[in-house]
Amino acid sequence: MEAVTRVGQVGLGYWGKNLVRNFDDLARLTWLCDAEEANRTEFARRYPTARVTDSFEQVLADDEVDAIVIATPVPTHYPLTKQALEAGKHVFVEKPPAMRASEMEELVALAEERNLVLMPGHLLLYHPGVRKLKELVDSSELGDVLCIYGNRQNLGKIRKDENALWSLGVHDLSIILWLVDEEPSEVWAHGNAFLTPGVEDVVFCYLRFPSGKIAHMHLSWLDPHKMRKITVVGRDRMVVFDDMELERKVTVYEKAPWEPAGTYGEWRTRTGDIFSPKIPNDEPLRLECEHFLHLVRVGPTHVEARDGLAVVRTLEQLQDSLAAVRA
């Protein structure tokens, strides 16, 4: 019989509790760690078979722990992940695992050197709707992809410690880079901090890839529309992933430009069917946790860690561009 993976989790806040719920179902929760006493008390009551502590070192010192799950605030991700990898543990860490590309490079190198899983929590890559998007792009159904744009807007939740680029953009960026399978050769970001000095509430990003594909992201918590949407424009078809839709998460549009034979440069447009493929209702977080445990069992591919590095590298470049415009 296959051994059950023993998991220690640090960070039992708003998001951490969702991870605990899944890892309790899928693995053996051995340790729960949080700096706040109230959280420790509550989780000790809810998960009586796990040991509870405020000391991350105590969790790492336990040879029986195979894997660590990190759901603490972003600035703590890099030091905690580094410590866990150095202690020989596989790591699932919430996004982004580091705030600087040099730090993320160090983490990826450490995971590769020690043959450990390092998986950033890019939740939306496990969303069945986003998986469908990837399938459509890779199967050439859309023809050459020309451009992609993401809308992640709402009124709230207004953050004071990270800007809209880092808080919201990490989701769309992970999807866009995964779909195009390239890193951008040029990036621009413009935005402004209206509410908290130095923390941009509204950010517009432009990315251009070596293949000529272009992408755009509108990220904002000051907006009348609640939008969670990715649009992919292909030469033959166009597709929209809309996470606000209950049933029609993915819509394919038979819309494209075409050039009638014998005419040169006289472009016309073609409009055909519009259809929505069936998307399974599986919980993305559960699929994400299952994937992590699968990697722990079969051994790391390092693909997830390298994809995470591309995301952090691009975020850093976009942040530099934002800061340059601000300066």
Binding site for ligand NAD (CB under 6 A): 10-16, 33-36, 39, 56, 71-74, 76, 94-95, 121, 123
CB of 221 to ligand NAD, least distance (A): 14
Residue among 125 and 207 whose Cβ is closer to ligand NAD? 125
CB of 15 to ligand NAD, least distance (A): 3
Residue among 95 and 313 whose Cβ is closer to ligand NAD? 95
Phi, psi for 150 (deg, rounded to 5): -115, 140
CB of 67 to ligand NAD, least distance (A): 17
| DSSP of 277-298 | -------HHHHHHHHHHHHHHH
1 contacts: CB under 8 Å, gap ≥ 6: none
CB of 110 to ligand NAD, least distance (A): 19
CB of 76 to ligand NAD, least distance (A): 5
Residue among 121 and 150 whose Cβ is closer to ligand NAD? 121
CB of 171 to ligand NAD, least distance (A): 7
Residue among 277 and 284 whose Cβ is closer to ligand NAD? 284
DSSP tally for the chain: helices H, then strands E: 10, 14
**Structure tokens belonging to residue 325:** 């415009």
| DSSP of 64-93 | T--EEEE-S-GGGHHHHHHHHHHTT-EEEE
Measured at CB, which residue is nearest to ligand NAD? 13
CB of 286 to ligand NAD, least distance (A): 13
CB of 282 to ligand NAD, least distance (A): 16
- The strands making up 145-155's β-sheet, listed across from edge to edge, are 186-192, 202-208, 214-220, 145-155, 222-234, 238-242, 250-258, 268-275
d(CA 200, CA 315): 14
Residue among 100 and 235 whose Cβ is closer to ligand NAD? 100
**Structure tokens belonging to residue 94:** 């919430």
Residue 169's SS3 state is helix
Residue among 12 and 148 whose Cβ is closer to ligand NAD? 12
d(CA 234, CA 147): 7
Residue among 149 and 166 whose Cβ is closer to ligand NAD? 166
d(CA 97, CA 107): 9
Q: Is the dihedral of CA 119, 124, 128, 131 positive or negative?
A: negative
d(CA 133, CA 240): 8
Residue among 39 and 314 whose Cβ is closer to ligand NAD? 39
Phi, psi for 125 (deg, rounded to 5): -70, -10
